[in-house]
Structure 1
């Protein structure tokens, strides 16, 4: 399972815990928030007694960033292509039958490398290479619906990380923080008053 420490992947981890033999994987591709994302992913795994595998692609991300006029928070274009490729390789190495990716409904509509068409094409490629199935169990659910399911499981979402900027405290103003705030509002759930910097 690809684990970023965010709302969706952390919720999926808790949903599948006890049902599958889980091998959570965190990919550091030089993203600005990588350190905080990894910390959050570690917290989720520790809570469930799982070992987190880290795949380090940080230097590749830094190499891409050198050629960018604007330093992007996420330096690698089509990051899901890279994440899925690494995940597929790791799943093959450990003889896993499934590779799980925690996309939500909004993701599948907003990003080409998260679309259902892309995932289907990637599955076709995976079928040529072996028998690993690509699973996106949350793809029909909105972020708010996922939060409701996580709350029903007793999840502590203060231990997840969403901010693009990588501060220990969420900035509250970047696109990901705004999406997070709106999803909690739609879910009818309150985050702690001091969760955001602004």
Structure 2
């Protein structure tokens, strides 16, 4: 059996990649949709794959993200509304092309409660659509776990979380103040783990 894993270079998807490594044939996929942090996210995703000896597939939708920003007074960190809809659709198409049995998205518990396109209802409906199109199964193996719980699992696997990327702003060094950085810092605190003192700019 082979799995397509949507890999962002962040905590959840990187942990899922390490959890699944050695169980099935893995096909990690990174989607560039014009997000401000895309370059750093891709670098982190490449590092995770290199550590496990995996080849990372990049799907380039950057121009679409840039087109969505046209006419906005302030550039959004995440340009595509309902980005999981786009990511899962591309992932499903790619999984079908390579005859993979599973498409995996690394949502955490907080995600499922905060975003409509990460909700259990949405994932169930997307599975219904995937069933009409073929036999690819959609899986969210981390959806019952908090970010802190996921970090604990990753630490037990020996993961180096300094090689993951979470910041919305796209600086080489995490800003430490954007919503994603704040969530990351709180999750490490809850997990009882200490990040390096110089990991954040502020």
- Residues of 2 paired with 1:20 and 1:139: CA distance? 20
Partner of 1:17: 21
Tell me the CA shift for residue 122 of structure 1.
0.3
CA RMSD in angstroms, aligned pairs only: 0.5
Tell me the CA shift for residue 20 of structure 1.
1.0
Partner of 2:75: 71
1:147-191 deviation digits (Å, cap 9, x = unpaired): 000000000000000000000000000000000000000000000
TM-score, length basis structure 2: 0.97
Tell me the CA shift for residue 71 of structure 1.
1.1
| Bigger strand fraction | 2
SS in 1 for 2:123: helix
**Higher mean displacement: 123-132 or 67-76:** 67-76
- Residues of 1 paired with 2:71 and 2:29: CA distance? 28
Give the 4+ runs in structure 1 shifted more than 2 A.
Answer: 67-70
Gaps of 5+ in 2: none
Gaps of 5+ in 1: none
Tell me the CA shift for residue 68 of structure 1.
2.3
1:99-135 deviation digits (Å, cap 9, x = unpaired): 0000000000000000000000000000000000000
TM-score, length basis structure 1: 0.99
Tell me the CA shift for residue 67 of structure 1.
3.0
1:49-104 deviation digits (Å, cap 9, x = unpaired): 00000000000000001132321000000000000000000000000000000000
* Match among 39, 46, 61 for residue 57 of structure 1: 61
* Match among 104, 110, 115 for residue 106 of structure 1: 110
* Match among 177, 186, 196 for residue 182 of structure 1: 186
